[in-house]
Amino acid sequence: MAKIGIVIGSLRKESFSKKVAGNVAKLFPEGYTTELIEIGNLPLYNEEYDDNSPAEYTAFRSKVRAVNAILFVTPEYNRSIPGVLKNALDVGSRPYGQSVWAGKPAAIISHSIGNIGGFGANHHLRQVLMFLDMPILQQPEVYLANTPKLFDEKGQINNADTVKFLQSYVDAFGALIERYLA
């Protein structure tokens, strides 16, 4: 049994990241559970908090510690990751030597409203996760383009080939997780 934490790099109530995450969460097989990990309430990281962390930091770090793996779903902002996501990564990695991310298998789904599919965000996030000592699913990679067109009126992915591809991604992520849980 594995518990997957889902970290969404967008704060917008009806964000495409949340819709993608909701659709992908349903693709995990029996024995896996998913939990959204809130990042929008985290004060901006400040090293002065290392000795006396805000309650939001403590709760966030506890949630990350309690999961076996992390799925990141993020839009691309200015060819990189949103600031709120970078802040969450920083909060979880501190104080120095006490990172809650280390050793947790990770997967990344990036997207954009244009044709590039969040390529810049995906690769910038990979750089950070490698430094945080998170084994990252390398193949397949997910870059979802033209995100507004992916959903029907109920927020479900409207393309069977996309769902099939995402299922193969979840299956590959599951295999990575199993290697690290064994």
CA distance 14 to 10: 9
Q: Where are the alpha helices (DSSP H) in the chain?
A: 16-25, 55-65, 83-93, 119-131, 160-181
Share of the chain above pLDDT 70, in %: 100
CATH of the domain at 82: 3.40.50.360
How many folded domains does the chain comprise? 1
Domain range for 163:
2-181
In angstroms, the Cα distances linking 84 to 14, 45, 73, 75 are 16, 10, 13, 11
On average, the pLDDT of the chain sits at 97
What pLDDT, in 10s, does the model give residues 107-132?
999 999 999 999 999 999 999 999 99
